[in-house]
Amino acid sequence: MNNISVIGIGKLGLCFALTLGRAEYNIVGVDISEEYVNLINNKTLKSSEENVENYLKNSKNFIAITDLSKAVQHSNILFVVVATPSLPNGRYDHTQVDSLVSKLILLGKQEQTKHLVVCCTTMPEYCDSIQLRLNEYNYVVSYNPEFIAQGTILKNQEKPDMVLIGEGNEEAGTLLENIYLKHTTNNPLIHRMTRTEAELCKISLNCFLTTKIAYANMIGDIALRTNCNPDRILSAIGSDSRIGKKYIGYGFGFGGPCFPRDNRALAIFANDKGINALISKASDQSNDIHLNYQIEQFVKQNPNKDIPVEFDYVTYKKESVLLTESQQLKFALQLQNLGYEVIIKDTREEVTQQIKGMFHGK
Ligand SMILES: NC(=O)c1ccc[n+]([C@@H]2O[C@H](COP(=O)([O-])OP(=O)(O)OC[C@H]3O[C@@H](n4cnc5c(N)ncnc54)[C@H](O)[C@@H]3O)[C@@H](O)[C@H]2O)c1
């Protein structure tokens, strides 16, 4: 099976399409905007994501289209990578996936079984609900989230730490396993389970990471209050192999488009099931407490508000252009509210556009 379709070729989907294309699959990517699709086909799309422009320029077996029916004809494997933003109540908004499923239903019952593989972040049990809607149309729904970091998406897709497959049935699981064995270059561990197990696993893994970051910052705050060095303490703790050094540094709290919302979604889903997920809630609160402590420390150490405060970046991490839940941005804005002149030195266009009007400093 050499043909694959990717529905939704935004930040993540485009990278996935390019990665699969490099493994010599024939890829059709679908998106809704004609203009965006043209930029991809002309290979003139600008991307801040490492290597995307380069991979796109060199891609041979990837075309973008807007016609969903052609993508469905092209392959029996349809990866879905449309957006699932968070609702104000913290649940994922599945509207784009729901509307895609409605469009698939309008295309009628398929002669050959179609494997619909949802890569979006979803509330656990959601994929079971779309399988029910698609049962009579000959679709098998699987869930296959990606664990990637902004700025290194392509690298993470080629060399994932592990692969999570929430299989709709055994055939779907084996099919996905073979695709991963072909396009990854590091022979990753592959975990096969049910759709709901994989949905729960995806957000639970991120909950663990937020907990680890919140813990490290809590210990660091205590250390500073005690005139101790946070880095020495955390480095020693992280060197215990049961704990590990990753995400155990002292610094800004967690932010970005995945960690905070996955962590909150887990608490909400747990609540639906009558479980009080105190650990998720505590990491979230601890992140805010840490930010307040960082501001208090800064003000104590820098009482002269006439000296401008410079930031190299206020995105949630240096390599990214995203401001989503950026603790650095919250920190800079709060200092400005306290009367400091704040100067942002980041000149990346995507960033300057987003922060326009937020800061009064140079
Ligand atoms: N970007 C990341 O770093 C990241 C990381 C982990 C998980 N995810 C998950 O991946 C999913 C996609 O995220 P993203 O950041 O790539 O979103 P995005 O907004 O960049 O891309 C989504 C794309 O889907 C397109 N789309 C919407 N409806 C469509 C339809 N009916 N048919 C075809 N295309 C359609 C949009 O036009 C857009 O280009 C989300 O569920 C997100 O939670 C993203």
3-state secondary structure of 38: helix
The CATH number given to whatever domain includes residue 24 is 3.40.50.720
Q: Are residues 94 and 173 in the same domain?
A: yes
pLDDT higher than 80, residue 362: no
Beta strands in the chain (DSSP E): 3-7, 26-30, 62-65, 77-80, 114-118, 139-143, 162-166, 189-193, 309-311, 342-344
- Ligand 1 centroid from CA 157, angstroms: 16
pLDDT tens for residues 149-183?
A: 988 999 999 999 999 999 999 999 999 999 999 99
**Section 66-79 average pLDDT:** 98
Residue nearest to atom 17 of ligand 1 (CA): 83
Task: Check residue 203 and give its pLDDT.
Answer: 98
**What one-character-per-residue DSSP string does 243-294 give?**
T-STT-S-SS---SSSHHHHHHHHHHHHHHTT---HHHHHHHHHHHHHHHHH
- Ligand 1 centroid from CA 9, angstroms: 7
Residue nearest to atom 33 of ligand 1 (CA): 31
Q: Which residues line ligand 1 (CB under 6 A)?
A: 7-8, 10-13, 30-33, 81-84, 96, 99-100, 119-121, 146, 148, 150, 257-258
Q: Are residues 176 and 91 in the same domain?
A: yes
237/203 Cα distance (integer angstroms) = 25
- Neighbouring CB atoms inside 10 A of 262's CB total 22
Confirm whether 35 is domain-assigned.
yes
Confirm whether 21 is domain-assigned.
yes
Q: Are residues 181 and 211 in the same domain?
A: no
Task: Check residue 1 and give its pLDDT.
Answer: 63
Structural domains in the chain (count): 2
pLDDT band at 185 (very low <50, low <70, confident <90, very high): very high
> What is the best residue among 9, 12, 319 to mutate for testing ligand 1's pocket, by most ligand atoms within 8 Å of CB?
12
Q: Are 105 and 84 within 8 A, CB to CB?
A: no
Q: Are residues 156 and 50 in the same domain?
A: yes
pTM given for the model = 0.95
pLDDT tens for residues 5-14?
A: 999 999 999 9
**Section 95-107 average pLDDT:** 98
Q: Are residues 9 and 143 in the same domain?
A: yes
- The tokens for 55 are 């991979």
3-state secondary structure of 98: helix
CA dihedral sign, ordered 295, 299, 304, 310: negative
Confirm whether 361 is domain-assigned.
no
81/15 Cα distance (integer angstroms) = 10
Q: Are 120 and 81 within 8 A, CB to CB?
A: yes
Q: Are 83 and 55 within 8 A, CB to CB?
A: no
Residue nearest to atom 44 of ligand 1 (CA): 12
Task: Check residue 319 and give its pLDDT.
Answer: 87
336-339, long-range: CB within 8 Å, 24+ apart, which pairs?
336/360, 336/361, 338/295, 338/299, 338/305, 339/305
Q: Are residues 122 and 269 in the same domain?
A: no
Q: Are residues 216 and 329 in the same domain?
A: yes
pLDDT higher than 70, residue 232: yes
- Neighbouring CB atoms inside 10 A of 338's CB total 12
Confirm whether 198 is domain-assigned.
no
Q: Which atom of ligand 1 is nearest to the CA of 82?
A: 24
Q: What per-residue string of b and e applies to 67-104 under the rule 16 or more CB within 10 Å gives b?
A: ebeebbebbbbbbbbbbbebeeebbbebebbeebbeeb
Q: Are residues 121 and 263 in the same domain?
A: no
Q: Are 68 and 78 within 8 A, CB to CB?
A: no
Residue nearest to atom 4 of ligand 1 (CA): 12
Task: Check residue 360 and give its pLDDT.
Answer: 84
Residue nearest to atom 43 of ligand 1 (CA): 121
Confirm whether 362 is domain-assigned.
no
Last residue of a domain, one of 170, 193, 216: 193
- The tokens for 264 are 């909150």
Q: Are residues 106 and 166 in the same domain?
A: yes
Percentage above 90 pLDDT, the chain = 97
Last residue of a domain, one of 135, 163, 193: 193
- Ligand 1 centroid from CA 245, angstroms: 31
**Locus of tokens 């100067």:** 343
3-state secondary structure of 174: helix
Confirm whether 360 is domain-assigned.
no
pLDDT tens for residues 260-270?
A: 999 999 999 99
Confirm whether 244 is domain-assigned.
yes
Q: Are residues 249 and 109 in the same domain?
A: no
Last residue of a domain, one of 161, 193, 225: 193
Domain that holds residue 159: 3-193
Confirm whether 149 is domain-assigned.
yes
Q: Are residues 183 and 207 in the same domain?
A: no
- Ligand 1 centroid from CA 81, angstroms: 5
- Neighbouring CB atoms inside 10 A of 162's CB total 11
- Ligand 1 centroid from CA 11, angstroms: 6
CA angle 250, 253, 259 (to 5 degrees): 125
Q: Are residues 164 and 218 in the same domain?
A: no
150/120 Cα distance (integer angstroms) = 15
3-state secondary structure of 47: coil
pLDDT higher than 70, residue 53: yes
- Ligand 1 centroid from CA 83, angstroms: 3
